[in-house]
Structure 1
Amino acid sequence: MSAPSRRSQRERVEESSRRLAEAAIELIAEKGYSNTTAQEIGIRAGYSRAMVRERFGSKAALLEAVLSDYEGRIEVPQDPRTSGLQRALAPILALRDFAAEDPRLLRAVLSLNFEAVHDHDLLRERIQGWLTRLQNGVRCAIADGKVDGSISNLSDAEEVASELLATGIGYAYAWILDPSHYDFEGALTRWHDRLVTRLTGPA
């Protein structure tokens, strides 16, 4: 029987970064950003009290890395080679793929987003700002889709973008409440397909 292969330095760094990210999200969801310390994050992740500073420099830098990764995966793509319809609906598919690839981390980040409603610090402002950018991106993509012919001229860009954001938040909340019984990936796929039919209807 062969001995298990040793993990590379890169794999160990990725693992520690992931565990720190999960610990940070869990603690902030429980206690709020201001009441969570870098030392607590390191201990919750199973490392030393100084691990957050060694790996990221500060609690703020760790949270920035986590949120930037999450937001970057869900953003509206800017690729001009794709249609407005594809760009407008891309966040739905990105969210679905994220749920398939890393459901634990996604649920933690989504929980943090919902908990931020009760905060009045920079975390809440950060999340509000990102949701606004996401909605604006969808609206612009829909407007582009009406120009390139991939979206019906009857579709109102502002209305659809606002509805898409609100519906996505609703699906995410349902999944957070009961992840073992709610088919999040299936719900997102069916929602995406319904929107394709709706947005490509008669002009």
Structure 2
Amino acid sequence: MLDPREAEEIPGEIDPALRGEIAHTTAAAIVHRARASEDPAVVERLVSLVEDEGLDVVAGLWADSPADTLPGALWRLYVLREWVRRDPRTVADRYRLGTAAAPVHDVVAGVVAPPGPEDVRSVADAVLSGVFAGDLAVALERAAAFCRVLATGAAFDADHVEGVDADHATHMTRGAASLVGTAEELVRAAELWRAERLD
């Protein structure tokens, strides 16, 4: 058995308070550095952060951050962009399905109609670019609208497959609900940014 002093010397998880501080510091540094720069290459590098550093690195920084914080909002945007980057065909198909029932959100998201895989990739990149070089609140609202259209499309898609594969339909319905939740979180983050309270 280890005595208490020896046990304390064993390396373990990072202190949650320190992890939170690191998340906030890195998010603020990245956003403010990019917004202060007029170099489009800086924005381009930040948009492709996940490809360059890996999703695990970004997750290690921000995944545990609450949605109503700057690192939490950035994490959601990067995950959304990574999904679009990895599976643009499915995203484009679901987006097309969702546009008929969510036309206002479609307009806010700014995807060309009918969208193809490259179109949804371009919008995901444009939204993330807006975080670093535009109005961050507008970028968050565009991402929220994008999520709402995708959620609607996923729900329709689930209806189509329910008779064939009920388990998959249930999984898709849960995914749609998650997207609606993410949209609500992004809208709240936009409100906080406008009120200068998104830390």
Which protein is richer in helix relative to its size?
A: 2
TM, length-normalised to structure 2: 0.28
TM, length-normalised to structure 1: 0.28
